[in-house]
Amino acid sequence: MDGCLHCVFTWQKACSIFHTQGWKHLRRSFSTEKVIHKDHSLPNPSWSKDLRLLFDQFMKKCEDGSWKHLPSSECKVPQRIHSFKTYFLDSKPVKEDQLSQARPFTRSYEVGQGFEYAMFYNEDEKRTVCLFQGGPYLEGPPGFLHGGALATMIDTTLGVCTISCMGLFMTANLNINFKSPIPLCSVVVISSQLDKVEGRKVFVSCNVRSVDEKTLHSDATGLFIKLDPEKSLT
Ligand SMILES: CCCCCCCCCC(=O)SCCNC(=O)CCNC(=O)[C@H](O)C(C)(C)COP(=O)(O)OP(=O)(O)OC[C@H]1O[C@@H](n2cnc3c(N)ncnc32)[C@H](O)[C@@H]1OP(=O)(O)O
């Protein structure tokens, strides 16, 4: 399990470093002994009572080891740098001044204004649950969450759901049914599962429900493809 999670966080961290500081810095960063990151997936003052309650319930489920809370960053030293080298080496350079402002999309807003969420993973059941509160900067229709913001969280949750398959993945297909709008600043539960693995293809699905589970806001399927070391991404 630790190895799987390790891979996911390594991927996330490597993407962030690569996009903000380039390949040379990525190589340097991963050769250093220890990196400390803030964990954005822990309760903060912007979290509603619903989000805190659900978070506490899932933390309780973690006590017997069946579920694991996924921190927003990883502090361990990655061992799999050779994989990223394979994928990133041929990437086209992007201007430094543009990259200096880059950051992971879902963690790019001020606390409480954008994506507030925590994720939990059940390895035996190959399930990932995301507790998500969409803040005021994510408005679509007046008073409701933007569909693209929900798509982002669905993509992220389904992406995390692929972690039981070792390797580096990218979303190839995302199919979302929007069934009921989500009131802005409310909390929803995104429940995802790994359905099938066929070679490099991982099929995942999820539903998005209100906290009381009475409202089905959305359901979705996703296809993630394991990256081929023989192919450049650019
Ligand atoms: C905490 C960390 C987790 C964070 C989660 C983050 C979630 C966010 C993830 C993203 O947003 S990723 C960014 C959005 N995605 C992309 O930009 C991907 C762009 N697409 C690509 O780079 C390539 O198309 C891709 C790497 C996905 C696949 O290219 P490949 O050349 O490696 O695959 P190939 O074309 O050989 O196809 C492999 C298989 O997949 C199938 N396939 C590929 N794309 C497909 C597609 N779109 N729909 C259906 N099938 C598809 C293809 O038919 C084939 O099936 P078979 O093996 O059965 O022949």
DSSP string, 175-220: EEEE-SPPBTT-EEEEEEEEEEEETTEEEEEEEEEETTS--EEEEE
Name the one residue in this structure whose structure tokens are 């059941």: 125
Is the pLDDT at 234 greater than 80? The verdict is: no
Q: Is 228 in the pocket of ligand 1 (CB under 6 A)?
A: yes
Structural domain of residue 18, as residue ranges?
5-226
Q: In terms of pLDDT, which residue wins out, 192 or 228?
A: 192
Does residue 169 lie in a domain region?
Answer: yes
Q: In the predicted model, what is the mean pLDDT of residues 196-224?
A: 97
Residue pLDDT, tens place only, 185-202: 999 999 999 999 999 999
pLDDT, residue 86, reads 53
Q: Determine whether 39 is an active site residue.
A: no
Distance 136 CA to ligand 1 centre (A): 32
Which H or E run contains 25?
Answer: helix 2-29
pLDDT, residue 33, reads 42
Does residue 176 lie in a domain region?
Answer: yes
**3-class state of residue 5 by DSSP:** helix
Compute, in degrees rounded to 10, the torsion defined by CA atoms 123, 128, 131, 133.
140
Q: In terms of pLDDT, which residue wins out, 158 or 231?
A: 158
Q: How many CA atoms lie within 13 Å of 52's alpha carbon, on the beta-carbon side?
A: 7
Confidence tier at 74 by pLDDT (50, 70, 90): very low
CB 130 within 8 Å of CB 189 = yes
For 122-153, give one letter per residue: b (16+ CB within 10 A) or e: bbeebbbbbbbbbbeebebeeebbbeebbebb
Identify which of 108, 176, 157 has the alpha carbon closest to the alpha carbon of residue 137.
Answer: 108
Q: Is 199 in the pocket of ligand 1 (CB under 6 A)?
A: yes
Residue located nearest, by CA, to atom 14 of ligand 1: 171
pLDDT, residue 90, reads 55
**3-class state of residue 122 by DSSP:** strand
Q: In terms of pLDDT, which residue wins out, 109 or 228?
A: 109
CB 147 within 8 Å of CB 25 = no
Distance 169 CA to ligand 1 centre (A): 7
Residue located nearest, by CA, to atom 55 of ligand 1: 201
Q: In the predicted model, what is the mean pLDDT of residues 222-230?
A: 89
Lowest-confidence segment of 69-83, 114-128, 152-166 by average pLDDT: 69-83
Residue pLDDT, tens place only, 92-146: 556 667 767 778 899 999 999 999 999 999 999 999 999 999 999 999 999 999 9
Q: Is 223 in the pocket of ligand 1 (CB under 6 A)?
A: yes
Does residue 161 lie in a domain region?
Answer: yes
Confidence tier at 227 by pLDDT (50, 70, 90): confident
Identify which of 107, 131, 135, 127 has the alpha carbon closest to the alpha carbon of residue 117.
Answer: 131
List, in sequence order, the alpha helices (H) in 46-197. 49-61, 81-88, 96-99, 147-161
Please give the Cα distance from 102 to 124 (Å, whole number): 35
Structurally, how many domains does the chain consist of?
1
Is the pLDDT at 221 greater than 50? The verdict is: yes
CATH number at residue 125: 3.10.129.10
Q: Which of 64, 124, 155, 212 is catalytic?
A: 155
Does residue 233 lie in a domain region?
Answer: no
What value of ipTM does the predicted structure carry?
A: 0.96
Is the pLDDT at 28 greater than 60? The verdict is: no
Is the pLDDT at 22 greater than 80? The verdict is: no
pLDDT, residue 163, reads 80
Atom of ligand 1 nearest to the CA of 9: 1
